[in-house]
Amino acid sequence: MGNCCNYKITTYSVKDTKKLGEKIGKRLKGKIVLALTGDLGSGKTSFVQGLARGLEVPNDYYITSPSYTLINEYPGRHPFFHVDLYRLEDPVDFEDIGLYDILDDNYVVAIEWADRIRQELLPDYVTIKFEMSGDTSREICMSAHGVNSVNLLKEIKNRL
């Protein structure tokens, strides 16, 4: 993952982190990969829960990390896939876990522990790095890799 940070934001509570996810989810217009990194408890899943709300995933879907299933799919304004690579030891190929077809299609894909995947295989994507800056505050750093993600980050910067 590149260290370049195109946009940094601080959230001060779990609710804040979810709200950020929701605002970004509302802006998504289709195919994008969000590559999430950060320590356990740094806010990745909370962010994804907000993202799902912004993508209009129905409230009766409880968004939880797919640590054992690796991939959860949710219906919404755009089909939404939540991927969690925490349990995988080595960097993996998309092919090995069935992600290849998902990334080819017009889906929104959020990948937790994205540093466990070979980056050169990712299409257009946004890296979102979560760092604990206090008991409840988080520094969230976003970087764009590709045309769609650059445009998305520009829009996020201008609107949030």
What is the tens place of the pLDDT at every residue in 73-114? 999 998 899 998 887 776 666 667 677 777 777 789 999 998
Q: How many alpha carbons lie under 13 Å from residue 144 in its C-beta half-sphere? A: 15
Rounded Cα gap, residues 18 and 51, in angstroms = 7
72 membership: H or E segment, kind and range: strand 71-74
Kindly state the tokens that stand for 3.
């260290």
Average pLDDT over residues 21-49: 92
In this structure, how many other beta carbons lie within 10 angstroms of the beta carbon of residue 112? 23
Q: Which pLDDT score, from 0 to 100, does residue 152 have?
A: 87
Give which of 77, 84, 78 is closest to 99, Cα–Cα. 84
| Domains contained in the chain, CATH given | 7-159 (3.40.50.300)
121 membership: H or E segment, kind and range: none
- SS3 of 80, please? strand
Q: Which pLDDT score, from 0 to 100, does residue 90 have?
A: 67
Are 27 and 159 a contacting pair, CB within 8 Å? Answer: yes
| Residue 56 pLDDT level (bands cut at 50, 70, 90) | very high
pTM: 0.88
| Residue 1 pLDDT level (bands cut at 50, 70, 90) | very low
Average pLDDT over residues 13-26: 95
Q: Which pLDDT score, from 0 to 100, does residue 157 have?
A: 84
Rounded Cα gap, residues 8 and 33, in angstroms = 18
Are 127 and 4 a contacting pair, CB within 8 Å? Answer: no
Q: Which pLDDT score, from 0 to 100, does residue 93 have?
A: 60
